Each structure stands twice: as structure tokens, then as C-alpha cells.
Structure 1
Amino acid sequence: MPRKPRIEIPGCYHILNRGVERRNVFLEPEDYEHFIERMCSYAKELGIQIHNYCLMSNHYHLLLEISRPVLSNYMRRLGMNYAIYFNKKYRRSGHLWQGRYRSWYVTDEAYLYALMRYIEHNPLEAKLVKQPQEYPYSSFHAFLDPTRRPACLQHSVILQDYGNDVQAIKALLSEPVDHDQLKELKKASAMVEAPEEKKPDEASLKRLFDNVDEIKERNRRILQAYQQGYSQHRIARVLGLSQPTVHGIVKRMKEKRAIPIT
């Protein structure tokens, strides 16, 4: 029975693929570099934006954005090219990848920024490094070193938001990963079939915090803004706070009011 075609709607996707039987697919620095080069080359050809990536020894994560249905084409070319390169170099034959890549549609900014930290923290959780930015085959490392930064990251969300502000990038991506939050956001994402993109009314959000000096009132309005549909990241930007700080405030305020956390 033929496999169902993937539904590709414009927006951001979290992509994951592993080596067959979880075997290593990157053995030497040259292998990682070849994959990144092809990743960027095909992205440029197809008009795909790369936001984050992390290549581990037996799998990889990508956070990318499409404006038209080219994702399957992109992933097929990337996977096939690298498999040919790898099999020829190491004199092997057969499948390199465990199967079709897995993908999740990113529904909102909260999910987007949670995924960024999750992807960049893979080497840390695998105990390969003491700080996530130390890992050489991730976008975090590339963000901090413009001389080694792949061209396909130039228009990533991180660089759009923070430019070359190294300290701000470190502060954002070094925050601990809230796995419970990520799980809830991923669950919500799975329930969305074809979301319509909405441009947040940031002016209204700013007005909500006009003349607010007391912390308690600020926190109350943070919860109010979140329940009105503003993402935690956008609230954080308007207030000059970190997104994890806003998440903590929302969580505490909901607990005080005995509101289930979603």
C-alpha cells in the first residue's frame, strides 16, 4: 500500500532523522561539514530558511521554514546525496537512514523558541559538552562565530531578533529546556491541521502594560496577555524579559488561580 503524501503548509517544521538501526552516520569532521554544505545548498535552491540545526553522531535535528510545498523534495535530495557520499566514502551499501524523516509543524512562537533550546541542548544532554555552545556541529556554535557561520543561517529567527549580540543569544539558548512545556506544545501542534498565520498586534500588547509599575499587576497582565493568545516570547520581548521568565510567571499565576497549565 503506497504511503500517504505529506501535507506541506507554509511555516516552520522540526525535522528529525536517524541512521538505520541507530548507527552512526557522521564519523569524521568532514562528514558533518559535507552534510551542512548540502543542507545549505539545497535550502538556497528551494527557498527554504534554516533557523536551527544540530548534527549528532547517529541523528540530526533541523528547524526550518518553507513558504511553498518543497519540504519532501528538499529532504529527499539531502538524504539521498548524503547517503551516496557516505556509502562511497566508507565502502558500504544499503540504506543509511532508518526510514522517512519525522516532522512536526510549529504552531506558534512559544513552541518555536522551546524547540530552539531543545535542539541546541542535544549535545549537552548527551554529555558531550559542558555548555551547549561548545558543540561544533550546531547552529548555537555558529551563531557565536560569524566567521564560521553557514550562509543559510543569515536570516534565521535568532539573527533577525538579536543580530550579533552574542550575550543575548547565549542568554536565550542557554536557558534550561522545560520538557513538560515542550511536550504540551508538541501535543497542541499535533492537533492543528492547517493553521492560518496571524500577525500579532504588538501595539495593543504594549498598551496593555502602559503605566504598570507594580510587579504583581505586571504579572497579572502577563497572564491576561497570554490567555488572549499572545505568545510568551512576544510578551517577553515587549517587557524586556527572557521567555523562560515569562513562562515561569504564567505557570505560577495559573497555579495560584488553580487553572490547568496548557
Structure 2
Amino acid sequence: MSEEKKDAVAASQPGSTEPGVGQRATASALEAGSQNVPAGPAGRAELPVVDVRRGMFGASGTQDTSGYGGLVRTIAMPGASERPYGGWFDEVVDVLEEVLTEQGLDPRRVIEQVVVDRDELTIQVLRDHILTVCQAMRDDQDLRFELCLGVSGVHFPHHAGRELHAVYHLLSLTHRRQVRLEVTCPDADPHIPTVVPVYPGNNWHERETWDMFGIVFDGHPALARTANPDDWVGHPQRKDYPLGGIPVEYKGATIPPADTRRSYS
């Protein structure tokens, strides 16, 4: 075993740091973590890394009491898939591309990439065209995704230029199929067109995603907060949002708020 690997292993062992100092990831451990990315098929581009997490629970400094302060985990998104996708996935993508072409659009400028992962189909769409794609997915006789189960927000604060994701889950009652559409936007310009004209049930879901993640759905009929007061500052489900809390008195002892007890990242 090389010295670098020995250092990485030692860094992940409980009790391997100096007394009174929390475990810190060494340079060797960080390098080992950066290499811990799932390998894609030969000839494919490297998987996009959206985050590198250190420790067991994200604690920093001397606050990690788990004994895994030197643990380094690389978080990578699945890359674009190659044809054939398998099953009915190819049919759905082919029909969607055909419909877009008939409308005078270049599918390559509408569909960012197609991902097949864990037997699920995800079509990543450029945000300017999400309404057009939803219209095609709902109305074409060979697609017929009549129902949108809602839109979910996701926040990757370290995914530069693509920090915010909006994920739409579509269900075809006619063909008994389910597909996922995904749109990204930067934190500096968190705007995505609304799909309420095509899927009216998304009215509430888009409001909730705005409330919790701060994605602005342009053209929404009444974009307002759902859980928080209208004058609330910030969006609580973003990963960089402070934990907050109030002091709690328990059996004569005062327990301070979570974000003042430990430093979570």
C-alpha cells in the first residue's frame, strides 16, 4: 500500500487526530474522495461532480463526534445515456423529437440530454422550452402524458451555473408510463417559465417550489408563498439556509438552537 493510500486510510480512522482537535480531511483523503466517482461507459465524458462532502454529517471543525471526520464523498450526477435507451424509452424520445421538428425547432437546442438511470427516464430540457415540451408530452397521441404529479425543487449550491433544478414527474394513464423532465437555472437568474397553462394542477406545486427554493416561475397566475408569510426572507429548503431555532428549556437546562450548537454545512 502506497504512503498516500495509508494516509487516506488513517484519516478515516477514529482517534487518529491529535487530542482536542476534530478529524480533518488530509490532502490524500481529498484526492481519494475526488476519485471515488462512478465510472461511465468507455468513451463517455466524466460524470458531473456537484459536491464533495466531508465527514459523516457535514459537521466542520471540532464538531464531528462520529469518528468519521476524514471521510470524503464525491457526489456526481449520472451522465447522458447513449442509444438504445431500452424498452419504450427510445419511442418516447423519438416521438418528442419528431413533434419538436414539426414545430420548426431543433431538438438538439431543446433537449439538453437524456439520462437513463436505475431504469428511469429523465429528459433534461432547456428552460426556455419547458412549456413547449410539456404541451407535446400531453397532447401527442403517442405520448399522452396527461398528468403531471407536480414539480419538485432541488438545490446544488456547488453546481456552478446550475444550482437550482426543477423536476417534473409526468404520468401517462393511456400508456401506463412515467417519465421525468428536468430543468436547471442558475442561482443568479432563478427564472423558469410556468407550465400551469398545460398542467393547471401545478399551480400549487410551483408556488411551493418558489416558497421553499426561490425558483421564480414566470407567467404563473398568482406566485405567492404557501407555508411562509409573504414577507418571509429566504427559502428554507435551500442547503445554505441556516437551521435557526429557539432555545428550549428541558429539566432545568437550556438547550440552545441547533445552528448555534454545531456548525453544519
> Normalized per residue, which structure has more helix?
1
Query: What band does the TM-score fall into relative to the shorter chain?
Result: under 0.3
Q: Which has the higher contact order (CA 8 A, sep 6+)?
A: 1
TM-score (norm. length: structure 1): 0.24
Normalising by structure 2, we get a TM-score of 0.24
- Larger Rg, first or second structure (1 or 2): 2
More strand by share: 2
